[in-house]
Amino acid sequence: MCDNVRMISSQRQHLILSRLRTRGAVRITALSKELGVSAMTIRRDIADLADKGLLKRVHGGAVSTSTLLSEPLFSVKSQMELGLKDAIAQRAIEYVSPGDVIAIGGGTTAYVFAQHLLESQRANGITILTNSIPVAELVQALESKDVEVIVTGGVITRSNSLVGPIADKVIASLRVNTVFLGTHSVSVPRGFLMPNSLEAATDMAMMDIADRTIILTDHTKWSSTSLSLFARFDQVDTVITDDGLDPDSATKTRDLVKELVLAHGVDEEADDRLATA
């Protein structure tokens, strides 16, 4: 189709890595067809990248060495405590059933949750409402799935979330089973806070239309603080965090929220998913 265009080799290799990050694995035949180059060229590209240790060669293609080593859609920040976010995401998936209509907010934690969700079987036939551009693009990248995505619209923020009156109005006209939100900080006993008051308002709008609210947040958020409160503890059904949370905060939080889930810590078994690919 686009045979007349040739990409620079580094562009190809970059795209391969990009695919690897979103899909975890790539096939040589598929890449060859998609990029309009011969399979041999793809092999050579993959060999180069393997020499640099950026991926792992397997029969028929390549898999990523460390799944989430580099995250294209987010800054370096998301590389920290990635194991924690993975663990949290894995637990959160249990709260989704096939056919559900869910909402997913902005931020890296919610994004990692979306990644795990879409790789699992629970994503079958679900509908996702989101104000996060990365989440929307993620679903688009995995076109095979039976997932519908609705984007809220609104003004775009530095963190690639959509906020403002347009977003709030769109959200208000819809309804979802469960909303999954990240948070910038947790304040005991006040609740959950965001640095941006517009984002806080959009999160509130999402909670208003949801039967159930689930907060996804790693334990470091307990020690930071922010400007705008978007949810009190009694408005939240479940808080999912990791077991790095100190016992004192854990007990205090458990008294305030209906359910507190502690996902098991820093794990390196992220390669499980890749082995099957």
Q: What is the CA radius of gyration of the chain?
A: 20
- Judged by CB under 8 A, which of 16, 19, 20, 35 binds a second copy? 35
> Are the beta carbons of 88 and 227 closer than 8 angstroms?
no
Residue whose CB is less far from DNA, 47 or 227: 47
Q: Binding of a second copy at residue 156 (CB under 8 A)?
A: yes
Q: Least Å distance between CB 188 and a second copy?
A: 25
With CB under 5 to 8 Å by kind, the binding choice for 74 among DNA, a second copy, none is a second copy
The site map against DNA for 16-55 (x = CB under 7 A) is: -----------xxx------xxxxxx-xxx-x--------
Distance in angstroms (rounded) separating the CA atoms of residues 199 and 28: 41
Q: Binding of DNA at residue 80 (CB under 7 A)?
A: no
Distance in angstroms (rounded) separating the CA atoms of residues 199 and 176: 19
Q: Max CA-CA distance within the chain?
A: 64
Q: Which residues contact 180 (CB under 8 A, 6 or more apart)?
A: 92, 95, 102, 103, 104, 105, 110, 113, 214, 216
- Quote the tokens at residue 15: 């795209």
The site map against a second copy for 82-101 (x = CB under 8 A) is: x-------------------
Q: Binding of a second copy at residue 162 (CB under 8 A)?
A: yes
Q: Binding of DNA at residue 99 (CB under 7 A)?
A: no
With CB under 5 to 8 Å by kind, the binding choice for 166 among a second copy, DNA, none is a second copy
